[in-house]
Chains A and B, each alone.
Chain A
Amino acid sequence: MDTFWRVLLLQDYNTRLVVIGTVLLGIAAGSVGSLLLLRKRALVGDVISHATLPGVGVAFLLMVMMGGTGRWSIGLLLGAAIAGVLAAALVLLIKRTTMLRDDAAMAIVMSAAFGLGIALLGVIQDLPNGNQAGLESIIYGKTASMVQADAIGIGIAAIIVILISAALYKEFRLLCFDDHFAGSQGWPVTTLDLALLLLGTAVTVIGLQAVGLILVLAFLIIPAAAARYWTDRLVIMMVISSLLGAASAWFGVTISALVPRMPAGAVIVLSASAIFMLSLVLGSRRGLLVRLIRARGIRHRTNRQHILRAIWECEETSGKVCRGDLLKRRRWTQREVDRLLRKARSRGEIESAHGEEVVLTETGQEAAQVVVRNHRLWELFLIRHADIAPTHVDRDADEIEHVLGVELVQELEAALGPEGSLPSSPHVLGEASP
């Protein structure tokens, strides 16, 4: 347990480096990933990361041809970055000039580029001085063996990426939410798109060293997707996503330092996935739980309004309401009707001791009147202004009556004139409405 805290709290020198490097990377990836996710370009990271491999290979060969050893890491990363941007641009080009959709365009560029990369690595391996050990780490990352220079490099690059995405925040926001509007306002949409891809490439390339090219994609997508469940605002989403990225990096590195045979990159991704799953269920904005509760609320309200209207209309036609009559008004079972009546009773909308007969209390009558009125106002509106036959309006109104606001009702009253108070039903109040 002691070691756990020592590692988690950065008292261990080696881990401290790795943690700082990957956490900064997580922050940068989180903010850029949010933008890519909203621009519906999440998988472009996949294309970029695979396309970096031939870039690295070509850079290595060029450096060897110019007489070097080919190990100069800045040169390699530059090659990776150029290849990444080219691949992303190629995807856009294929999409624009053929009828293929973007998934096919991405898969084509990604796999062909990666194949080229593998072929180049195969060539490099056979070269006399071509020990490809340095290149291997690009595919799987070398999180655990990160040295100070790597961590500092990643840190600086990550900070630059964060600053740029903050500086272009307003432009990117427009681009993500309404590119047509942005274009019509005179923003250079294509340039901005390229800038965003450039940032994505930057994150991917610096992420290569930390987690390897296959898992760097996870850094771009998962925290951003998780953050989406907590907020509807872009700036908050970017902050949350950065925090989640940083947290999973920290936690992942810690675990991998403590447990033997835990590859850091993979554990970072798994931590991010765990956070994602929690967000999916618990997210305060779009999480499953919140949406479930919201849907339940709506169902309750709808059911209450259904039963109230059914009682009212029954009373209107036959003067006396029995449970059996209610059953015929709508497609529901006896058990459902009983349950709804029980609930209405507990809310004090129906008088209790009346046996088979159902009688609305005063509050119940008021509530029912509002519902019936909304229903009929809408029916009248449809008949008068939308030219729908009186026999067909019941069903349409049935769906809309639950969401009519006070203002809309006032507008309907104004539009319909004197009949506004409580119009009689424009159609025969019949048996089970559909």
Chain B
Amino acid sequence: MSWMNGLDDWIIVLGALAAIACVLPGTFLVLRGMGMMGDAISHAVLPGIALGFFVSGTRDNVWMFLGAAIAGIVTAVLTQFLHRMGRLERGAAMGVVFTSLFALGLVMIVQAADHVDLDPNCVLYGAIELAPLDTVMFLGMEVPRAFPVLLVVCLINLVIILLFYKEMVISSFDPDMARSTGIHSGLMNQVLMVMTAATCVACFEVVGSILVVSLLVIPAATARLISDRLSIVLVLAVIVGVIGAGLGHISAITVPSWFSSDVEDTSTSGMMAVAAGVLFALAWVLAPRHGLLVLAIHRIRLRVRIVSEDVLGFLFRFEERGESMSVHNIRQTLTSLADAGPLASRLAIVSLKRRRLVYREGSVWKLSDAGRARAVEVVRSHRLWETWLWRQADLAADHVHGQAMRLEHVTDERMRAELEIQTGSVSQDPHGRPIPAGDSEGEDGAAASPPGD
């Protein structure tokens, strides 16, 4: 790799600025379920850009902006029209509009190929690698021409969001509520569309239309996975966007050379999108509250708790019948009666042993005193539920077991007391087995059933 001071610095700065500019409207697009709107607008501005050329005859930014912004608004309005009046699903409406406009733009550009040098490639992929070479004087410094443009867009987006923060938030989460509090939710929508369109155009030259989509959506979605608070999501999204831009450029000039000595670097804008995607994948797996890993751990822990409660219940019932449960037996029982896999069974037994709720005597599992107390609770919940379902919910006696099997794991002492009152403190479940008495310390007098009844 070759790090050219200045040049590479500028590329990262421009990428980061583009990311910040895109993230601001992008977060609200993601919130509103309009993530693909960025894709639609970024394709559909092509005829607007071409029109800007025809009118002005130059690659003047102002005309391009104007044309593209108009095209962006037209896209949003047409999509809305087809969705509402044409009764098309929103995605399909978007698809119809933006592919048509893109085709129109292509025809216009090819038709005018003699008059203007507009390369559709440039619109698609951008040319961030070349951007630092095209410089202007700005505040007495020589900076890339794209720098002041992106800076201004960033500032404008920031100002709009700060000004209309409350309105934007309410109309994104609950348009009806927004309308009822006098916020013009349609107007906010239009503001967002114009902002998106203008941002897309400003970023095209630098990063291309596809990367714009990735910057609009990926950092916002990544941040959304990490946090549930909008203000934090916005800040996180900016950070993710900037890191993605930096990582993207660095990997563009380093990664290819790992594989082949012939290749020095590759497209920075492409790698920025990839880097953003990688960050998203990381958040998807590792996010603190909604990440796949955390969810998997939760699920496993819940499963182990349920299976260990089942083990206690089985041991209690065996004891009740005067049988003992061998090490081999317990696996079979768990697989056939509690539908527990080998891993969950093993983990459950390990956890029970560690908490000293069960112990092993020769080849037989036994309940410790603490274990028996817990087992009584489980079996009591089970049989109370069976009775309740049979008496109060009119379920057939041979159908209540499965339900009770599920409910016993979410039933606490207060619920048990309530169940006992509602079932009239009977002493036997529908199958004729005794309902064990509750722990008399944990409940009030009304719920305690006389022992040996």
Contact = CB atoms under 8 A, between A and B. Distances in A.
Interface of A: 37, 40-43, 45-46, 50, 94, 97-101, 103-104, 106-108, 110-123, 126-128, 139-140, 214-215, 217-218, 220-222, 224-225, 228-229, 261-263, 265-267, 269-270, 272-273, 276, 280, 286, 288
A228 B89 CA distance: 11
Contact of A118 (B39, B85, B125, B220): B125
Interface stretch (B66-74, B107-115, B377-385): B107-115
Interface string B255-272: 010011011111101111
Contact residues on B (Cβ < 8 Å of other chain), bracket: 35 or more
A112 B99 contact: no
B430 interface: no
A262 B110 CA distance: 7
B104 A110 contact: no
Interface in B272-298: 272-274, 276-277, 280, 284, 290, 292, 295
B271 to A, nearest CB: 5
Nearest to B260: A127
Q: B120, B264, B266, B271 — which one has the most chain A CB atoms within 10 A of its CB?
A: B266
Interface stretch (B179-187, B206-214, B410-418): B206-214
A413 to B, nearest CB: 37
Contacts of A122: 252, 256, 265-267, 270
A286 B262 CA distance: 59
A293 to B, nearest CB: 15
Contacts of B106: 263, 265-266
A280 B82 CA distance: 9
Given A108-B221, A111-B213, A111-B214, A217 B95 contact: yes
A431 B106 CA distance: 63
Q: B38, B85, B86 — which one has the most chain A CB atoms within 10 A of its CB?
A: B86
Contact of A115 (B93, B111, B271): B271
A266 B47 CA distance: 12
Contacts of A104: 30, 33, 35, 217, 220-221, 224
B247 interface: no
Contact of A276 (B87, B91, B96, B269): B96
- Which 7 A-B residue pairings sit nearest by Cβ, starting from the closest? A115-B273, A112-B277, A118-B270, A122-B266, A111-B214, A218-B99, A119-B270
A100 B30 contact: yes
Given A43-B91, A112-B274, A121-B267, A265 B213 contact: no
A280 B86 contact: yes
A115 B224 contact: no
B1 interface: no
A126 B263 contact: yes
A217 B103 contact: no
Contact of B100 (A100, A119, A269): A269
A100 B233 CA distance: 13
Contacts of B225: 98-100
B99 A107 contact: no
A112 B280 contact: yes
Contacts of B86: 229, 280, 288
A126 B120 CA distance: 21
B280 A108 contact: yes
Contacts of B265: 122, 126
Given A107-B216, A119-B270, 5 more contacts: A119-B266, A126-B266, A218-B103, A225-B95, A288-B85
Given A100-B224, A103-B33, A116-B273, A218 B100 contact: yes
Nearest to A268: B103
A221 B34 CA distance: 18
B105 to A, nearest CB: 8
Interface in B1-58: 30, 33-39, 43
Contacts of B125: 118
A123 B86 CA distance: 45
Nearest to B42: A111
A126 B107 contact: no
A266 B269 contact: no
A118 B269 contact: yes
Contact of B36 (A107, A221, A267): A107
Given A115-B210, A118-B210, A122-B270, A127 B263 contact: yes
Contacts of A225: 88, 92-93, 95-96
Given A100-B221, A218-B100, A43 B266 contact: no
A129 B102 CA distance: 33
Given A103-B34, A218-B99, A112 B94 contact: no
A101 B89 contact: no
A261 B111 CA distance: 6
Nearest to A212: B106
B218 interface: yes
Contacts of A288: 85-86
Contact of A111 (B102, B217, B271): B217
Contacts of A222: 95-96, 99-100
